[in-house]
Structure 1
Amino acid sequence: MRQGSFSIPPMERVFFGRPFVDVVMEEVERLGAQRVFLLVSNTLNNKTGEIRKMQDALGSRFAAIYDDIPAHIPRDAVLRATAVARAADADLIVTIGGGSITDAGKNVQLCLEHGITELDQFEPFRLKTDPATGVVEAPVFRGPTVRQIAVPTTLSGGEFHQSGGSNDPVKKLKQSIRHPLMIPRTVVFDPALTMHTPLGLWLSTGMRAVDHAVESFYSPFGSPFVDGTALQALRVLPAALKRTKRDPQDLEARAEAQAGMWLSQMGMWSLVPMGASHGIGHVLAGSFHVPHGHCTCVTLPAVLRFNKPVTEAKQKLLSEALGDARRETADLVAELIDELEMPNRLHKVGVQRADFALVARNALLDRWTHSNPRKFKSEQEIVDLLETAA
């Protein structure tokens, strides 16, 4: 008999299909915020009028803005953003942008709560994984009182996670910090706002959502609820992504993609551990600066094939959700990657065979490599997997 648990994090509302400025103002009023700090995409702030509309609507409640968060969230950028929020006496953070902006907001929350001003002060809060056993040390600490509203413009889904990643500039590793109150109080999906997102970024982060659904579904730690949402996500996402590629102006397709991504995140939302596609992907992102969506495109088919001996029955259901129960799940995913014209091999994202040993070693420092359905017996097994994606 299957056993497990399902946890519900302290997220209060998800809005979809409405203009983000209207929704954010309703939430600012509901929460009684008086000093709103905007942490936003540089492109949205400097090349569109969207952020100006938000500032104007806030009026006297606008406290400050920061728009210089690079990809993969280097911690020195987090500290600079925190300094601006602290000086403005912010009582609410509104993030508008992709996954790096959302996760930066979570890290700023932590820094505000615990007075973090130096890089080494992150260390006591981060999750630590024993590379030999996979045992995770999760520090217990006071959660943030300044919370976040997230307005995502990609499909990476970080707004549904209780953890926030950031990059250690010394170790060149992406590391996670987790607390239930780091998850946004409110998420706002505005498909019209995503028209400013580069199409390649939209599609690649859509593949990241596919990865979330796949690894949630065949995780040994899933639940009936997550099974249902993950399979429905895989029924929705591929068609929505293909429609958007054919016609980037199709708002209905963008809204469908956001809905599919939302469904794909229910595993992460309820703390279901992911697998090796995510674990290896964290290393590719943190150490080699590969965009997260591209990490999925080069790792997921290979990981699916590696895991097939222990997930064959579940992979048949994944294939059915993807449209053809007779086909291999890895082949269906690979075809979708090709149809979206995403990079599909490690060398295409700048990772060479000479890097594989480092990738394997660092992957064993990631908790999700150890929660993969098929256990890795050695670093060499990870190197062998990487060879299949070279």
Structure 2
Amino acid sequence: MTGTFRYENPDIIHFGLGCVGESLSAELDRFGAQRAFLVTTASAGKGAGRAVAEVLGKRLAGRYDRITQHSPVASVMEAATAAREARADVLVSAGGGSPIDAAKAAAFALATGLDLRDPASLAKARGASPKGALPHLAVPTTLSVAELSGSAGFSAESSREKVGVAARELRPAAVFYDGTLAVDTPMDLWLSTGVRAVDHAVETIFAEGEHPLPDATAAESLRRMPKALLAAKADPRNAEARGEGQIAAWLSYLLPGPAARGLSHTLGKRIGSRHGIPHGVTSCLLLPHVIRFLGPRKPEALERLRAGLGPDPAAAIADLVARLGLPQHLSQWKLTESDLQEAVAPLAGKPYSAEELLGIMRASL
């Protein structure tokens, strides 16, 4: 067997309690940055965002704190405009996947001059290079791992479909896993994005091809994440448990492209933004059924999953979701059969049939 592995994660990961206070200023110095622009949400802006702003001090040139779930493209462009007007020389994101993706997409828009609200510009974006994009420092407060890749998802204005841009230049220049800044993250969001990280690990192992290092870290993530999530649920102010969850999430995502294009993720994106279902919750709903579907088709990958999850990986994840008190049934969102058919239609034959995909969806009801 021969193969080639290329690291797609950011070059620098800072981790441990207090690492933002210790290392953020040094990262700004590395870029000679004097005008930092903070991208966050209304809720994260009161906790982690405030702490980050305090570290930035006089170098904070502006902020945008109106990013909401699924990063609506209008908000992305508002953030980009505000950053340009602030003459930003570095972007700093604080919060979950939505503000982190919004910062990446804003960096793309600023570097290319494209208005991502315009469908024609969005079509051009697929071939555009964001050369010279502003550096981006990411301070995640959920376990979605948006900070670990150069892809940025956001929701289109007209259809609410999830779309996006991607380039290596959009990878954050540095990531800060600081559990002390995650203790205020709402528990349901923390736990559901933790299951999302479990999903990343599973999709890594199911991905086509040979990838021994990501497989090994994914299996380790599957061993560590359930304990970290249960510990955080038992004591929401446990910064060490939050930090352990962040490490487990990092380990889940050394194969960003294939892990984000797996079957659970792909189906989840088809129903998430359109029906108001958070990303992490789509993993809670779909992942056990995806494993039951793919396991017999990929027996070697199923054996690797057993190393991290035990003899019945699908049952183990369903049990974890139940113990965490997270949603387990898609019927809660009142999707109709027509909604399900519409969701799977663009995916049919790539490579699974519409009826096979509907079977997964129906099993989750």
Please show how residues 317-356 of structure 1 align to structure 2 within 5 Å: 317-322=304-309, 324=310, 327-356=311-340
RMSD between aligned residues? 1.9
Residue 174 of structure 1 deviates from its aligned partner by 0.4
2:94: which partner in 1?
96
CA distance in 1, matches of 2:103, 2:331: 32
> 1:190–1:171: structure 2 CA closer, same or farther, 3 Å change rule?
same
1:75: which partner in 2?
73
Matched, 1:383 2:358: yes
1:295: which partner in 2?
282
Please give the secondary structure, in 1, of the residue aligned with 2:137.
strand
2:247: which partner in 1?
259
Residues 307-346 of structure 1 deviation map (CA, whole Å, 9 limit, x = unaligned):
1222223213312312x3xx32111111111111111111
> 1:118–1:296: structure 2 CA closer, same or farther, 3 Å change rule?
closer
CA distance in 2, matches of 1:208, 1:354: 26
CA distance in 2, matches of 1:346, 1:251: 32
Please show how residues 32-71 of structure 1 align to structure 2 within 5 Å: 32-45=32-45, 47-48=46-47, 50-71=48-69
**Contact 1:10–1:181 under 8 Å retained in 2:** no
CA distance in 2, matches of 1:173, 1:184: 25
Aligned residues: 362
Counterpart amino acid of 2:8? P
Residue 362 of structure 1 deviates from its aligned partner by 4.1
Q: Unmatched 5+ residue regions in structure 2? A: none
Residue 147 of structure 1 deviates from its aligned partner by 1.6
Please give the secondary structure, in 2, of the residue aligned with 1:195.
coil
Please give the secondary structure, in 2, of the residue aligned with 1:166.
strand
1:108: which partner in 2?
106
Q: Which deviates further from its counterpart, 344-353 or 196-205?
A: 344-353
Identical positions, percent: 33
Equivalent residue in structure 2 for 1:358, among 309, 318, 342: 342
1:8: which partner in 2?
7
**Contact 1:346–1:352 under 8 Å retained in 2:** no
Q: Scaled by the length of structure 2, what TM-score is found? A: 0.94
> 1:22–1:305: structure 2 CA closer, same or farther, 3 Å change rule?
same
> 1:272–1:249: structure 2 CA closer, same or farther, 3 Å change rule?
closer
2:129: which partner in 1?
141
Counterpart amino acid of 1:296? S
Residue 254 of structure 1 deviates from its aligned partner by 1.4
Residues 251-272 of structure 1 deviation map (CA, whole Å, 9 limit, x = unaligned):
222111111100001111x765
Matched, 1:201 2:189: yes
**Contact 1:155–1:209 under 8 Å retained in 2:** yes
Counterpart amino acid of 1:342? L
1:134: which partner in 2?
none
1:279: which partner in 2?
266
